[in-house]
Amino acid sequence: MRRVFAILTLVVSSVCALAQSQVVQPDYDTYFHPYRLRVDLTFAGDASYQNIFLDGMARECDWSGSKVNLIDTFRYGEYRLEVHTPDGKEIYSRGFNTLFQEWRTTAEARTTPQAFASSYVIPYPKDKFLFKVFERSRETGLYGEIFSIEVDPSDKLISREVPNDFKVDKILYNGDPANKVDLLFIAEGYTAQEMDKFRADAQRFADYMFTMDPYTRHKGDFNIWILESVSEESGTDIPHKDIWKRTVVSSNFYTFRSDRYLTAQNHKLVSQVASNAPYDALYVLVNNKEYGGGGIYNFYGLSASDCIYAEPVFVHEFGHSFAGLGDEYYDSSTSYEDFYNIKIEPWEPNITTQVDFDSKWKDMMESGAEVGLYEGGGYMAKGIFRPVPDCRMKTNTAPGFCPVCQRAIERMIGYYTR
Ligand SMILES: [Zn+2]
């Protein structure tokens, strides 16, 4: 019986693998201009409902993402955006998370509707297209469409305004952005006089990242860019200590009333600041000594420059924002309530409810890698399992990323470098 079961699961998982590799990627030049389009959206609602509203569009600098992998085959994220031709052909897609979605799981969201601004860049279509957003159902884990608009890319109201002239520079360059992971560090809370410090901080973070597997093996796959976005004042807002600073992307601690949760709530502002810079992944470097940070998949990573464990926090948050990794910890310090529905498999590659463990690291256990099933993860002590006792996605003192996280990061690097 065991043997039959094993053969059956093998068939199912290989069908899934086949489905992923069978995605026919569209030809970039047929459908897209060399530059990119930023679509600004407002997500509004509360714990029980949400709506999306169009907030504007802008033409930006050249597209720096892959020109081969245009359809997202990972299917990570609470949301997915898709670009379709008017006759229904999918020509671009990307999964993502938002700060709004995290907020919807807080107690406050049960009583107080709120709106969050956010922005998404896509290759600039040549012809009319449909822009769609899908939401993942908490009950089934499947995506359902919640927003669809038709866009004429020649519309004169698509902004061509250049929002700033901040200097874009590179601290590591290995070649054409189309075939590299382009990581952009955005200066936040650095005054004009502190730009040398920003460069040194970004360099220190990048150097640390490349001491860790799997990044060590893939240094040649990265370009690292820095955006010298100037703030009027140094530091960041710390509301629970009555500290407020005038800074370029308006970051703050005390997000969702959690002391150490440092974010920039206005994602549109972050995206506008980066209008002239190439990037696949945004990282906001906040000039501050207080411990904190956050990382949201295909949204941004963000953390303090000079706090204790500043570099480990950076690679942890970048693990969320770049590779879609979940948190492997489960203490009571977070504001979320029942973050995961344990009746379905979470999409994050490094945690499992065992509902569909075949889609996770079961193959690595069978091939003898030093991974297992350890209960506790994803902010929950029961029902969610992680691959190893300790990993960089669990603590800042772990020696590095576990084999499951390393494989997930490598797969993401591979996606951007084709
Ligand atoms: Zn891990």
Domain layout of the chain by residue ranges: 28-151, 167-327+409-416
Write the pLDDT tens digit of every residue in 269-284.
999 999 999 999 999 9
Taking the centre of ligand 1 as the mean of its atom positions, its distance from the CA of residue 313, in whole angstroms, is 14
Percent of the chain past pLDDT 70, that is, above it, reads 94
In whole angstroms, give the CA distance from residue 19 to residue 331: 37
Q: What pLDDT is stored for residue 20 in this prediction? A: 53
Please identify, in words, the CATH class of the domain defined by 167-327+409-416.
alpha beta
pLDDT band at 156 (very low <50, low <70, confident <90, very high): very high
Taking the centre of ligand 1 as the mean of its atom positions, its distance from the CA of residue 195, in whole angstroms, is 34
- Greater confidence, 15 or 126? 126
Taking the centre of ligand 1 as the mean of its atom positions, its distance from the CA of residue 404, in whole angstroms, is 6
Taking the centre of ligand 1 as the mean of its atom positions, its distance from the CA of residue 224, in whole angstroms, is 24
Taking the centre of ligand 1 as the mean of its atom positions, its distance from the CA of residue 393, in whole angstroms, is 5
Compute the average pLDDT of residues 247-262. 95
Write the pLDDT tens digit of every residue in 115-132.
999 999 999 999 999 999
Taking the centre of ligand 1 as the mean of its atom positions, its distance from the CA of residue 395, in whole angstroms, is 10
Taking the centre of ligand 1 as the mean of its atom positions, its distance from the CA of residue 401, in whole angstroms, is 5
Taking the centre of ligand 1 as the mean of its atom positions, its distance from the CA of residue 233, in whole angstroms, is 37
Taking the centre of ligand 1 as the mean of its atom positions, its distance from the CA of residue 211, in whole angstroms, is 17
Report the predicted TM-score, pTM, of the whole model to 2 decimal places.
Answer: 0.93
Least-confidence region, from 33-47, 212-226, 242-256, 324-338:
324-338
Taking the centre of ligand 1 as the mean of its atom positions, its distance from the CA of residue 376, in whole angstroms, is 12
CA distances from 347 to 77, 211, 312, 408 (A): 7, 28, 24, 12
Taking the centre of ligand 1 as the mean of its atom positions, its distance from the CA of residue 319, in whole angstroms, is 9
Residue 381 pLDDT exceeds 50: yes
pLDDT band at 4 (very low <50, low <70, confident <90, very high): very low
Taking the centre of ligand 1 as the mean of its atom positions, its distance from the CA of residue 51, in whole angstroms, is 34
Taking the centre of ligand 1 as the mean of its atom positions, its distance from the CA of residue 291, in whole angstroms, is 22
Residue 65, token pair as written in the block: 């993402």
Q: Which residues are CB-neighbours of 284 under 8 A, at least 6 positions away?
A: 185, 186, 188, 249, 251, 264, 270, 300, 301, 302
Taking the centre of ligand 1 as the mean of its atom positions, its distance from the CA of residue 329, in whole angstroms, is 10
Residue 229 pLDDT exceeds 70: yes
Taking the centre of ligand 1 as the mean of its atom positions, its distance from the CA of residue 110, in whole angstroms, is 32
Taking the centre of ligand 1 as the mean of its atom positions, its distance from the CA of residue 325, in whole angstroms, is 8
Taking the centre of ligand 1 as the mean of its atom positions, its distance from the CA of residue 228, in whole angstroms, is 32
Residue 296 pLDDT exceeds 80: yes
Q: Which residues are CB-neighbours of 96 under 8 A, at least 6 positions away?
A: 77, 78, 79, 80, 81, 120, 297, 298, 299
Q: What pLDDT is stored for residue 332 in this prediction? A: 61
Compute the average pLDDT of residues 356-364. 96
CA distances from 415 to 67, 74, 280, 418 (A): 11, 9, 11, 6
Please identify, in words, the CATH class of the domain defined by 28-151.
mainly beta
Taking the centre of ligand 1 as the mean of its atom positions, its distance from the CA of residue 103, in whole angstroms, is 25
DSSP 8-state secondary structure symbol assigned to residue 275: T
In whole angstroms, give the CA distance from residue 374 to residue 386: 5
Q: What pLDDT is stored for residue 40 in this prediction? A: 98
Taking the centre of ligand 1 as the mean of its atom positions, its distance from the CA of residue 340, in whole angstroms, is 18
Taking the centre of ligand 1 as the mean of its atom positions, its distance from the CA of residue 92, in whole angstroms, is 29
Q: What pLDDT is stored for residue 15 in this prediction? A: 38
